[in-house]
């Protein structure tokens, strides 16, 4: 068979594996290779190659290859657990984003101190560098092997597979596991690993099944990368929006309302500031705001396709013996608003924005603070236009989205998601809509990735993935081009020929949802919001009660100027007051003692610990108004 490597073709006998071929062609590549790609598809280094093509070694930089390493690490974990806890029963152990886990059925739950023992045993197995040997068995033999080894969960998995399914196993030393692979050639390639946590997990995710013990871990190709990642995890824990939401008295999720957030006064201030910014910037870009009902009839959701394609995520109710649904999306209501009158081509494009509350049924295990909730506010907009206007409108939405994200200091990457298997509309409609999105992205000269099959059921979409201050990404904004719902709802406009024509529709969000965006912002800024977003922009701290009158006078001036201020007049030491204000992430602490009260000045303490003495009230207000008004992400140095 012919193998092409770095542009040159070489002949090899059929059945050679990538490991042997690369050892012959380029031995240095094996220092970093953990898998290979043959004609673009991922292959194990140790698995025989049965077809010709171009071979490329891949290392830890390749996402799929990272999964190979981490999947192998999960098998090392399972092997170590079986050595230390022989009665443990194996369930499943996949690679996941940034790590891996394995589920076990054990007589006694694992304790945190067990992780150290397991890690030592894993290190011993890795040092042995056992080969990962793949073999295939007929169904009867596979069942017999797992029954003899006392693995009932593996037996259940085999029985649930189709009769003609290939049943592959991997052996490393004495350890054998049912697994589709792929794996590293040997355990020694797992250079760096760490077990990170314990959790309970129902077998197959069903509360009707037994609770298993799950061990989470992560693995990297070298220790430096792993240490960097673990440091990021620790930083993320400090920034956890659920923790900060409680500490800063912003918001919370209570047991009485799983998935339904509570916003407290300071959280509402943050939320209102985001909504006010949204309204202002949309007015400036030609949008008009609407509001549509929370509950609408089943007939509407059947027409939109949601009843057939999204029913499991919808909350329903009956009113006057008729079925209704609490809206999971705002678009059908917006469509009804469009249909209220006849439109001319001269009226188009129409840009309607809506801060609409939606409800979606999420499984309890998927809920996560403000990031995954059951009730949230989408910053929706629906635009109606001619087909010829669609490209320019998409470019306009893209530029508006870029402007919003840059205001918060976010970088982002872009994906174009295409037609999913479960979709409505003709192939021709999808091709035309996808071509328009591609053309718009090409014109704004932004790099993008194609995400095959991940579009909405009614149209292709552009997705924005934000990168936060510690390197994590979050999917937020989306631009969806829809030719299907205008058809389903018989939307029309009168063209220059006096005839009725079908408009094209854009669905888009920028924040994604107000709640989730607040969670992302909380973690991005670590709770230390820039001045324009801070619920409390300054706290006035007095040294003695003789300064109370001056403090009240300053607060009056600042509030009259539109600044958000608190006072702390308690009979406490000033150091205590300053530390408490710093714990609440207050941008500016304004200290007033006898001298400041007499001079009409303040000593300014910034959140970062800088001190500026003798600042006049007028100068203070001028500087803070300039910083907040400019939506600066950094504290001012103009005092």
Options 66, 71, 82, 331, the catalytic residue: 331
User: For this structure, is 124 an active site residue?
Assistant: no
Residue 465 designated active-site = no
Q: How far apart (Å, rounded) are the C-alpha atoms in residues 44 and 77?
A: 20
Active-site residue identified among 62, 130, 177, 380: 380
Residues 6+ apart with CB under 8 A from 402: none
Helices and strands: H and E segment counts in the chain: 19, 33
* Distance, C-alpha 195 to centroid of its chain: 23
The whole-angstrom separation of Cα 252 and Cα 267 is 9
Instruction: Extract the tokens encoding 319.
Output: 């009113």
Is 382 among the catalytic positions?
A: yes
507 is catalytic: yes
Task: Select which of 461, 524, 539, 577 is catalytic.
Answer: 461
| Strand ranges (E), 386-444 | 411-417
Among 189, 423, 507, 508, which one carries the catalytic annotation? 507
3-state secondary structure of 432: helix
Where are the extended beta strands (E) located within 277-395? 288-289, 295-297, 315-319, 322-326, 350-359, 375-385
Q: Which of 103, 17, 77, 65 is nearest to 182 (CA)?
A: 65
Q: Which DSSP string do the residues of 574-625 spell out, in sequence order?
A: HHHHHHHHHHTT-SEEEEE-HHHHHHTEEEEEETTS-EEEEEEHHHHHHHHH
User: How many angstroms from the chain centroid is the CA of residue 82?
Assistant: 35
Q: Which position among 351, 382, 508, 555 bears the catalytic label?
A: 382
d(CA 575, CA 573): 5
Look-up of token digits 């399972």: 78
Q: Give the tokens for residue 581.
A: 């204000």
Task: Tell me whether residue 331 is one of the annotated catalytic residues.
Answer: yes
Note whether 110 and 222 are within 8 A (CB): no
3-state SS, residue 169: strand
Determine whether 360 is an active site residue. yes
Give catalytic status of residue 67 as yes or no: no
Q: Indicate which residue of 213, 378, 480, 635 is catalytic.
A: 378
CB 394 within 8 A of CB 436: yes
Cα 405 to Cα 261: distance, rounded to the nearest angstrom: 24
- Which residues are CB-neighbours of 388 under 8 A, at least 6 positions away? none
- Catalytic residue annotation: 331, 360, 378, 380, 382, 461, 507
């Amino acid at each position: 068979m012919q193998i092409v490597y770095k542009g040159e073709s070489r002949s090899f006998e059929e059945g050679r594996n990538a490991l042997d071929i690369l050892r012959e062609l380029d031995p240095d590549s094996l220092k970093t290779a953990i898998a290979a790609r043959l004609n673009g598809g991922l292959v194990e280094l140790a698995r025989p190659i049965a077809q010709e093509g171009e071979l490329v070694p891949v290392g830890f930089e390749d996402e799929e290859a990272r999964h190979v390493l981490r999947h192998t690490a999960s098998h090392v974990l399972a092997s170590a657990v079986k050595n230390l806890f022989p009665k443990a029963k194996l369930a499943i152990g996949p690679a996941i984003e940034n790590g891996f886990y394995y589920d076990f059925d054990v007589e006694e739950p694992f304790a945190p101190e067990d992780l150290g023992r397991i890690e030592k045993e894993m290190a011993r197995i890795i040092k042995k560098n056992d080969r990962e040997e793949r073999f295939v068995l007929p169904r009867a033999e596979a069942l017999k092997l797992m029954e003899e080894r006392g693995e009932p969960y593996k037996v259940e998995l085999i029985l649930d597979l189709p009769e003609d399914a290939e049943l592959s196993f991997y052996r490393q030393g004495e350890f054998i596991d049912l697994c589709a692979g792929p794996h590293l050639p040997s355990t020694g390639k797992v250079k760096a690993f760490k077990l990170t946590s314990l959790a309970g997990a129902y077998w197959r995710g069903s509360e009707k099944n037994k609770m298993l013990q799950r061990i989470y871990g992560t693995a990297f190709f070298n220790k430096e990368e792993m240490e960097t990642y673990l440091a990021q995890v620790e930083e993320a824990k400090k920034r956890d929006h659920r923790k900060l939401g409680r500490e800063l008295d912003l918001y919370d999720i209570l047991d009485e309302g799983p998935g339904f957030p509570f916003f407290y006064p300071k959280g509402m201030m943050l939320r209102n500031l985001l909504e006010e910014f949204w309204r202002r910037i949309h007015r400036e870009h030609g949008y008009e705001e609407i509001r549509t009902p929370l509950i609408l009839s089943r007939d509407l959701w059947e027409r939109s396709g949601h009843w057939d394609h999204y029913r499991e995520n919808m909350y329903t109710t009956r009113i006057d013996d008729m079925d209704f649904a609490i809206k999971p999306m705002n678009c059908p209501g917006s469509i009804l608003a469009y249909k209220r009158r006849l439109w001319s081509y001269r009226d188009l494009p129409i840009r309607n924005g809506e801060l609409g509350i939606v409800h979606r049924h999420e499984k309890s295990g998927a809920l996560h603070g403000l990031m995954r909730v059951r009730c949230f506010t989408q910053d929706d907009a629906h635009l109606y236009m001619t087909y010829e206007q669609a490209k320019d409108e998409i470019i306009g939405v893209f530029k508006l989205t870029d402007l919003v994200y840059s205001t918060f200091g976010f970088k982002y990457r872009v994906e174009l998601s295409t037609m999913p298997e479960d979709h409505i509309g003709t192939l021709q409609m999808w091709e035309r809509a996808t071509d328009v999105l591609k053309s718009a992205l090409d014109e704004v000269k932004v790099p993008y990735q194609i995400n095959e099959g991940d579009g909405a059921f009614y149209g292709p979409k552009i997705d924005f993935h934000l990168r936060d201050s510690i390197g994590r990404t979050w999917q937020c904004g989306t631009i969806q081009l829809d030719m299907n719902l205008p058809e389903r709802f018989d939307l029309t406009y009168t063209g220059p020929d006096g005839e009725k024509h079908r408009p094209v529709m854009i669905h888009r969000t920028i924040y994604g949802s107000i709640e989730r965006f607040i969670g992302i912002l909380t973690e991005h800024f670590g709770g230390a919001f820039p001045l324009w977003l801070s619920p409390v922009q300054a706290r006035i701290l007095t040294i003695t009660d003789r300064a109370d009158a001056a403090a009240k006078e300053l607060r009056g001036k600042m509030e009259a100027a539109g600044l958000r201020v608190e006072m702390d007049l308690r009979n406490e030491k000033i150091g205590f007051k300053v530390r408490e204000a710093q714990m609440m992430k207050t941008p500016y602490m304004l200290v007033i003692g006898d001298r400041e009260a007499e001079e009409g000045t303040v000593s300014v303490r910034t959140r970062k610990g800088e001190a500026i003495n003798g600042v006049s009230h007028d100068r203070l207000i001028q500087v803070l108004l300039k910083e907040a008004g400019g939506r600066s992400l950094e504290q001012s140095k103009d005092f």
